[in-house]
Structure 1
Amino acid sequence: MTEFVNFSTVVRAVVGAGFAVGTIVGSAQITQAALPNLPGADLSPVSVLDESYLLGPGDLITIDIFNVPEYSGEQRVLANGNVNLPVVGQVSVNGLTLAQAESAISAKYSREVRYPQITVNLLNPRQLRVAVTGEIHAPGLYTLDAGQRGQFPSLIEAIRLAGGITQAADLRRVEIQRRTENGSTQRVVSNLSALLGRGDLSQDFPLRDGDSIVISQMEEIDLEASRQIALSNISTDEQEAISVAIVGEVFRPGTYNYASRPTSSQSAVGDNANVNSVQQPGRLTVTRALQLAGGVKPMADLRQLQVKRTMRSGETRIIDLNLWQLVEAGDRGQDLILQEGDTILVPTDFNASPDQISILTATNLSPDAIAVNVVGEVEAPGPVAVDANTTLNQAVLAAGGFNNRAKETVALIRLNADGTVTQRAIDVNLAQGLDDEKNPILQHNDIVVVDPNARARLADGVSSILGPFLQILPFRNLF
């Protein structure tokens, strides 16, 4: 029996590019920094991902047989996983490492060549097919090509090819599952938060054919982590149109399409749908969405605003926001960046104080103008467009002020958030400052009714009685 010699300790340099620099034949592991052992991660106790390359259909390899150049040369792994070798015919290398392929080929040539010394190098790897699931824009199976320098595609490349991760993704727990040479499955967690925060490139693992990437979801939505994702280049496309719903204390509740690439200015979907398509630069935030919905009403409770977000698993997470911190202290961390399918819930604050309403209506979260109706004994009765923080006195003045027939006690009619209608009488004093009882801030569609005074009512009564006679009697001119 001929003796077989295998140079398994020779360091291989892959032809054309250094995508396997540092790979040792037989072990095929690249030294990397240990990954974090995160609580709750049911993973194998390994510190690095097995970098062994397993041959498969489509790989282009070179086979060198020492001192036998006529048997050496390039070979393409066939669809059945075999290579067709001179003299000895087909040899299966499917699922083998380079070292294992050397052993299989050496065993085949041992009958033809005395002391065969075989070297197998990977010249051009096949396309890689990887699965990406979890909190990713478009889960599914993807095909990646080796780069121009022959480098293996990385985890980040696969994430970007799948459209980017959602803002509900747990960056600390991106799991890679890989089949190893012994047939088992290895699981390792990549901490992409360390990559984004500290530039730790060791977390961007080179991929292998058949890898599965599972992106876990956050247990609880973290505003800072969500913002970190949204502003990174591994998030979803900033220019892709998203649809969000806005309900509650806003002037135009409904569903809105938003994109930062050019689109139609407005479109409706369905027979009676309230769907607007808007194009602006930058990502859609909660404050931008509220402005798209016409702004918040004076009774909006910004301290308990909520965003309902649906995860890829179908679960729903509620994100609590306090936009009042943004209004009072400029806390932009509360201005959540939205993603596809989010719903904003704006509750009603039935105990809102006049001062709070005044502050809110002065912000750009409220509309620039509202419409109120001032009817009756004013100089210019009818609809009046006024600022959102306009008081009753200012609305009367905007309608030209009282005429000489006016009674200075007016009726304020309001449609409330709960669907009821209230009416109250207010004695108007044009010198009165902001006061919830005597000079309240008006709301959209409020009606101010200015009745005639007693003298005017008397004159109207006399005129209605004597009017027909005055038209026919000759002494009508006396009146």
Structure 2
Amino acid sequence: MKSGMGLVRRSCTFSFVLVSFLTAGAWAQQPAGRSPAEQQNTAPTGLPTAQPVSPPAVSASGVVSNSEKADDPSKDSPGKSTIVTLGPGDLIEVNVYNVPELASKVRVSNSGDVYLPLIDYVHVEGLTQEEAQALIEKRLVDGGFVRNPHVTIFVDEFTSQGVTIIGEVGKPGIYPDIGEHKLYEVVSQAGGFSQNASRKIAILRRNQPDPVRVTLPRNLADDVSSNVEIMPGDTITVPRAPTIYVVGDVGRPSAVLVDNGSLTVLQALALAGGTNKTAKLGASRIIRKGPDGGVTETKVEIKKMLEAKIPDMPLQADDILFVPVSGGKIFAARTFEATMTMATAMALYTVHP
């Protein structure tokens, strides 16, 4: 009986193993099944592999930066950089937090160095305030003077970043140029142009041997192209306008400014009030000083110019236009006056018996 039951158990076990083996073989021959979730998450075949998209870089201020512009600095605008650096002549205050003994107020030397307690000379020329602060902190740490120092720099005078304006302006001097400024803004800070200012301005820049020449329009609002950008360290020269002197028998002998670049004989006479009746127009002359110091005289026939028989003559800076007095006209005028006086006296004598 026991042997019969054992035989039955062996038969059932063998049958179960055989069925499992056949089922596993059939399952291996068929393609692997996929769950609906797996079929949805699986990318279709034949498509390119997706590339990860890197998030845009965000600065500490929360502004999203332009990666393409950061990779290629040449695409930046060619305008002036607003980064302000230290230079010779700048007066700075250096403070170390919680260490008042190290506070110093020093001026940057011509070599670009400042002397500070404990750490000796520090070269700060060409560094921004943040870079100079980091350098001083490093020197304090390397020397073992202060642990975890916090250095702050305050600039009292930005002499190296100033703009010098001289010449025919209201208040010539040195003006700070922190940030971006235009020519008209700097001139306005200097009190504007004087009445004798020339329209041709020269701007001398650092490390540039040739100055930048700017010709101002008569009305500054008509042409903004002359409102050029001013860089730190520029020297703006506003010269006096060329002057022409009109003397002699004219209405208002005076010095005439050539503010439009050129002036002719008739224009200068008009500005001087014209000639008087006793002027000898045919004997007028231009007195001109040469480059060697010599003086030359050029005869000018104003009467023929007024009659359009000869062209008008241009004048140069520092020319003297002399219009002499006609002796004959004076004699005739005085004779006429004497005659009129005598005739008036006789008329009065005749009227009164």
Question: Rg larger in 1 or in 2?
Answer: 2
- The normalised TM-score by structure 1 is 0.33
More helix per residue: 1 or 2?
Answer: 2
- The normalised TM-score by structure 2 is 0.42
More strand per residue: 1 or 2?
Answer: 1
